[in-house]
């Protein structure tokens, strides 16, 4: 079977792909920002001395990590309206789900970054007369972020690929754009091949960027 | 003034119970106030409802909805009425109508009794026939010819259930597989992985018209069932329903429907000028003569019981229902002997097994490829080899797993015919395995690099070959270091195995989507499936934690998974 190259046209990009690509980008950036924000607090709670706090953070993180994302997406979509008493659109629901889901992953990464630091750092901070808050803010977190930036960014690449799961609630992301074009023109194979290539180009470029960043930070190969 | 009178009149026409049910404004009030009507549409439902790109939607049902909207506009005396489209899916369409996000759903929804408990339907002007598409010359021309064949239908749709019910009557055994969507189902037929595609005739016609070589396929067989397709609207707003029905009646009276039929089913349509070639059926003609909102059940001469109680709360009894008859069975585990039917519980357990099989094989593949590749990447110096190993890793982790699996299943067999005979579950295992291998190879590499260089040099100085260094010195330490990330990969592969449904492996996610459609009890089905996923992932987590503890080098503490601890493990 040969490929029907006439399927590939500029119109394909403007009519089907652009809109989905923008949504995937928006979803990725929103989930990254909120995910890291919540993730920091979750990570701090997870390593907190207060048992109840650390336990509830651990429960949250483990549950989020044990459920397939597509199931979470469906759950949020079904359940949130029951709680707040009014419907939320597929896109808003996706933003919410991804932010909360990614927070669990980012939290674990940030925690590993914090725990990899020698205890002495905290002690030194406290010894200098800083409060715990100041120590975390000015000593621990900057170093933890520096060490984990490559892993965080790698997770962002995974996140970008995962946005394709919003098909379950009918949101229109990049992959959906390819699929619908494939369906409405009857050329699914051409559409999927182009999708694979496009995702590869974007994600590969991003992962090269991570590598450059790693080298800049002088830590190539130093993190697992 | 006129408007006020109109609104007051319309208000007084509304039956009193609608006030008791909810205090929200009627649909007409909402439309009047916002000067907007929201239509629920489908991205790709044949010629009934589809996108023509960038937020534009068209199709037979959509055009009828637009006509209704313009009638509403003049009825409300609005000078301007904005028509807004929201794309819906079969998973969300009902809740979006219920909660008022969309005013009219103009897709391809069948009017059924179960759905009538949640939403109302306008009179049907399109009666779908469920039929079969086959390759020309396949010798299949009716249900009777299906013995021993493979039938494909689409996840989350009804036809398979109908076929099951019909086939039971004539005592025929066939294999059923499910496509992720209609296009995938058709592709299964096109690539010879299925012998017949059972679906709504308009969708079959659309897929055939769209294919590379429409002459290769034909629609055959008596209609397996008649499905009244109807516009969905809110249940607690009978006044709005009568307005919509009046509008439909006037379309019929003006003789507009035959014109619309020609336009959408017999003439070239966007986006690429294909012709559906769907002849007007007797049943549809009948529906135009005597419009009604009869549910599908009244068109059928066989019965599928659906869950009857629909008060709030969970009813896990649905898992004891038979998948063919919908009747609650005495033997909830549903052994085949019981009336030749089986239960949703049995199906769920078999789906669980498929998930574990696919994930298990996938993980073995991932370890067998990922670990050596990762280790090799730390040792090879030849540029081409290092380059191709990196390429392998980058290629397989930078393309969404869904796309990879699809390519292995549908695209690769076109170029390597050996792949045609590989069963779907192995294809998915391979795809998942390679995707995970790419990630594991990175972890293995990092694990080895985390070991101080001195270890390697010391081993070399003792006269070990490079291979021996890896085998006896580096790998034992590195493997222990990477157990935690391997644990998350093992949990991930169970979750990622959900993509197997894309190539019709009957695993948990496919079960969830199909069963929620058949039973109309989404909450219970999703709850059960989610619990099973959590249970599986956590068991794997416990198992690997156990392995981690058992293989721990004696004398090291809990945090043995870093390089410094490994260093401390020196005798």
Q: Name every chain B residue with its beta carbon within 8 A of the beta carbon of A81.
A: 95, 99
pLDDT for residue A112 is more than 50 = yes
Which chain B residues in 65-94 lie under 8 Å from chain A, judged by CB atoms? Answer: 86-89, 91-92
Which residues on neighbouring strands pair with residue B328, listed in sequence order? B321
> Cα–Cα distance between B520 and B531 in angstroms, integer?
19
Q: What integer pLDDT is reported at residue A221 of this predicted model?
A: 46
Average pLDDT of the residues in B464-479: 92
Residue B18 banded pLDDT, cuts 50, 70, 90: very low
Least confident of B65-79, B451-465, B508-522: B508-522
Q: Name every chain B residue with its beta carbon within 8 A of the beta carbon of A7.
A: none
Cα dihedral A67, A72, A78, A79 sign = positive
The CA distance from B446 to the nearest CA of chain A, in Å, is 5
Q: What is the mean pLDDT of chain A?
A: 86
> Cα–Cα distance between B243 and B69 in angstroms, integer?
10
Q: What integer pLDDT is reported at residue B556 of this predicted model?
A: 63
Which chain B residues in 16-45 lie under 8 Å from chain A, judged by CB atoms? Answer: 43-44
pLDDT digits (tens, 9 = 90+) for B348-361: 999 999 999 999 99
Q: Which of A66, A169, A175 sits opposite B537 (nearest CB)?
A: A66
pLDDT digits (tens, 9 = 90+) for B475-508: 998 998 899 889 989 998 998 898 887 788 888 9
Average pLDDT of the residues in B304-323: 66
Residue of A139 and B502 predicted with greater confidence: A139
Interface test with B, best of A170, A178, A200, A201 (most B CBs within 10 A): A170
pLDDT for residue A214 is more than 60 = yes
- A207 touches B: beta carbon within 8 Å: yes
Q: What integer pLDDT is reported at residue A224 of this predicted model?
A: 38
Q: What integer pLDDT is reported at residue A87 of this predicted model?
A: 66
> Cα–Cα distance between B185 and B154 in angstroms, integer?
6
Phi, psi angles (nearest 5°) of residue B279: -75, 150
Q: Name every chain A residue with its beta carbon within 8 A of the beta carbon of B96.
A: 87
pLDDT for residue B117 is more than 90 = no
Residue of B310 and A17 predicted with greater confidence: A17
> Cα–Cα distance between B161 and B199 in angstroms, integer?
11
**DSSP labels, B272-291:** TTEE---PPPHHHHHHHHS-
Q: Name every chain A residue with its beta carbon within 8 A of the beta carbon of B446.
A: 221, 223-224
Cα(first)–Cα(last) distance of chain A, in Å?
44
CB pairs under 8 A between A and B: 172
| Nearest residue of chain A to residue B415 (CA atoms) | A1
Average pLDDT of the residues in B271-275: 83
DSSP code of residue B280: P
Q: What integer pLDDT is reported at residue B1 of this predicted model?
A: 45
DSSP code of residue B472: I
- B211 touches A: beta carbon within 8 Å: yes
The CA distance from B495 to the nearest CA of chain A, in Å, is 5
Block residue for tokens 């390519």: B407
Count CB atoms within 10 A of the CB of residue B487: 18
Average pLDDT of the residues in B449-467: 92
CA-derived radius of gyration, chain B: 29
Are the C-beta atoms of B135 and B144 separated by less than 8 Å? no
Interface ipTM:
0.82
Residue A213 banded pLDDT, cuts 50, 70, 90: confident
Residue A100 banded pLDDT, cuts 50, 70, 90: very high
> Cα–Cα distance between A107 and A35 in angstroms, integer?
8
Contact A184 B55 (CB under 8 A): no
Q: What integer pLDDT is reported at residue B336 of this predicted model?
A: 58
pLDDT for residue B52 is more than 70 = yes
How do beta strands B274-275 and B196-200 pair?
unpaired
Alpha helices in B235-281 (DSSP H): 238-253, 256-261
> Cα–Cα distance between B493 and B421 in angstroms, integer?
24
Residue B61 banded pLDDT, cuts 50, 70, 90: very high
pLDDT for residue A91 is more than 50 = yes
Residue B561 banded pLDDT, cuts 50, 70, 90: very low
Q: Distance between alpha carbon B442 and the CA centroid of its chain, in Å?
A: 32
Q: What integer pLDDT is reported at residue B341 of this predicted model?
A: 72
Q: What integer pLDDT is reported at residue B270 of this predicted model?
A: 85
Average pLDDT of the residues in B317-337: 73
Structure tokens at B86: 């929201």
pLDDT for residue A9 is more than 90 = no
CATH hierarchy code of domain A5-216: 1.10.3720.10
Q: Which of A180, A200, A224 sits opposite B43 (nearest CB)?
A: A180
Phi, psi angles (nearest 5°) of residue B173: -105, 130
Full-model pTM: 0.77
Residue B337 banded pLDDT, cuts 50, 70, 90: low
Residue B557 banded pLDDT, cuts 50, 70, 90: low
Block residue for tokens 């000593």: A139
Residue of B280 and B414 predicted with greater confidence: B280
Residue B441 banded pLDDT, cuts 50, 70, 90: very high
Residue B16 banded pLDDT, cuts 50, 70, 90: very low
pLDDT digits (tens, 9 = 90+) for A21-63: 999 999 999 999 999 999 999 999 998 889 999 999 999 998 8
If residue B151 lies in a helix (H) or strand (E), which one and from where to where? Answer: strand B150-154
Q: What is the mean pLDDT of chain B?
A: 84
Q: Domains plus CATH for chain B?
A: 20-126+230-298 (3.40.190.10), 131-219 (3.40.190.10), 357-504+536-553+561-569 (1.10.3720.10)
pLDDT for residue B17 is more than 50 = no
pLDDT digits (tens, 9 = 90+) for B392-410: 888 998 898 888 988 898 8
Nearest 5°: CA angle at B117, between B115 and B121?
60
Block residue for tokens 């992720």: B180
| Nearest residue of chain A to residue B536 (CA atoms) | A66
Average pLDDT of the residues in B269-286: 88
Are the C-beta atoms of A164 and A28 separated by less than 8 Å? no
The CA distance from A86 to the nearest CA of chain B, in Å, is 7
pLDDT digits (tens, 9 = 90+) for A142-178: 998 888 888 888 889 989 998 888 877 778 889 888 9
- B271 touches A: beta carbon within 8 Å: yes
Q: Name every chain B residue with its beta carbon within 8 A of the beta carbon of A155.
A: none
Which chain A residues in 98-157 lie under 8 Å from chain B, judged by CB atoms? Answer: 116, 157
Average pLDDT of the residues in B148-163: 82
Q: What integer pLDDT is reported at residue A13 of this predicted model?
A: 85
């Amino acid at each position: 079977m040969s490929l029907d190259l006439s399927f590939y046209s500029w119109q394909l990009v403007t009519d089907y792909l652009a809109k989905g690509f923008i949504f995937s980008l928006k979803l990725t950036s929103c989930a990254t920002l909120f995910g890291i924000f919540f993730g920091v607090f979750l990570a701090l709670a997870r390593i907190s001395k207060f048992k109840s706090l650390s336990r509830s953070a651990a429960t949250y993180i483990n549950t989020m990590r044990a459920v397939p994302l597509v199931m979470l997406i469906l759950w949020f979509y079904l359940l949130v309206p029951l709680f707040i008493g009014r419907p939320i659109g597929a896109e808003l629901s996706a933003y919410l789900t991804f932010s909360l889901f990614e927070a669990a992953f980012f939290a674990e990464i940030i925690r590993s970054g914090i725990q990899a630091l020698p205890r002495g750092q905290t002690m030194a901070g406290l010894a200098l007369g800083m409060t715990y808050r100041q120590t975390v803010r000015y000593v621990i977190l900057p170093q933890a972020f520096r060490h984990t930036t490559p892993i965080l960014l790698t997770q962002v690449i995974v996140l970008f690929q995962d946005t394709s799961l919003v098909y379950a609630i009918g949101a229109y992301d990049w992959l959906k754009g390819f699929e619908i074009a494939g369906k409405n023109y009857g050329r699914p194979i051409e559409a999927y091949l182009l999708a694979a290539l496009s995702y590869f180009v974007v994600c590969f470029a991003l992962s090269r960027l991570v590598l450059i960043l790693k080298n800049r930070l002088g830590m190539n190969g130093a993190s697992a | 003034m006129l408007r006020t009178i109109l609104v007051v009149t319309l208000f007084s026409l509304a039956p009193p119970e609608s006030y008791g049910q909810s205090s929200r404004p009627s649909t007409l009030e909402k439309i009047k106030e916002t000067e907007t009507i929201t239509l629920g549409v489908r991205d790709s439902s044949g010629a009934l409802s589809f996108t023509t790109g960038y937020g534009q939607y068209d199709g037979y049902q959509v055009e009828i909805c637009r006509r209704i909207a313009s009638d509403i506009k003049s009825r409300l005396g609005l000078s301007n009425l904005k028509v807004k489209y929201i794309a819906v899916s079969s998973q969300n369409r009902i809740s979006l109508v219920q909660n008022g996000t969309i005013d009219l759903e103009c897709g391809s929804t069948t009017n059924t009794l179960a759905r009538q408990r949640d939403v109302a339907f306008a009179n049907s002007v399109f009666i779908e026939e469920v039929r079969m598409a086959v390759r020309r010359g396949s010798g299949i021309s009716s249900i009777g010819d299906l013995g021993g064949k493979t039938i494909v239908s689409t996840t989350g749709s009804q036809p398979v259930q109908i076929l099951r019910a019909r086939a039971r009557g004539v005592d025929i055994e066939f294999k059923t597989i499910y496509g992720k969507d209609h296009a995938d189902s058709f592709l299964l037929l096109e690539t010879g992985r299925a012998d017949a595609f059972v679906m709504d005739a308009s969708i079959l016609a659309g897929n055939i018209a769209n294919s590379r070589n429409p002459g290769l396929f034909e629609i055959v067989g008596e209609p397996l069932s008649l499905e009244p397709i109807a516009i969905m609207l809110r249940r607690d707003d009978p006044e709005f329903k009568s307005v919509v029905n009046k509008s439909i009646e006037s379309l019929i009276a003006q003789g507009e429907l035959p014109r619309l039929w020609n336009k959408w089913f017999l003439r070239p349509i966007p986006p690429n000028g294909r012709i559906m070639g769907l002849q007007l059926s007797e049943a549809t003609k009948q529906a135009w003569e005597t419009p009604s909102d009869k549910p599908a059940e009244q068109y059928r001469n066989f019965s599928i019981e659906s869950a009857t109680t629909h008060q709030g709360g969970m009813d896990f009894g649905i898992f004891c229902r038979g998948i063919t008859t919908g009747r609650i069975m005495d033997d909830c585990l549903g052994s085949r002997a019981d009336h030749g039917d089986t239960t949703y519980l049995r199906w769920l357990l078999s789906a669980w097994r498929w998930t574990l099989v696919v994930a298990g094989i996938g993980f073995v593949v991932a370890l067998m490829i990922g670990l050596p590749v990762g280790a090799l990447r730390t040792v090879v110096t030849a540029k081409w080899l290092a380059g191709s190993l990196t390429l392998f890793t980058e290629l397989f982790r930078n393309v969404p797993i869904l796309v990879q699996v699809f390519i292995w299943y549908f695209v690769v067999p076109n170029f390597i015919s050996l792949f045609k005979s590989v069963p779907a579950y192995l294809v998915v295992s391979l795809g998942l395995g390679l995707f995970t291998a790419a990630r594991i190879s990175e972890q293995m590499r990092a694990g080895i690099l985390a070991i101080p260089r001195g270890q390697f040099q010391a081993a070399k100085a003792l006269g070990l070959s490079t291979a021996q260094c890896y085998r006896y010195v580096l790998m034992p330490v590195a493997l222990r270091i990477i157990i935690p990330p391997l644990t998350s990969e093992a949990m991930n592969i169970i979750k990622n195995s959900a993509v197997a449904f894309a190539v019709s492996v009957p695993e948990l996610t496919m079960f969830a989507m199909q069963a929620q459609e058949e039973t109309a009890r989404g909450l219970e089905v999703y709850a059960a499936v989610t619990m099973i996923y959590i249970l599986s992932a956590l068991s794997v987590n416990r198992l690997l934690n156990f392995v981690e503890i058992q293989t721990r080098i004696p004398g090291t503490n809990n945090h043995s998974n870093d390089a410094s601890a490994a260093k401390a493990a020196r005798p």
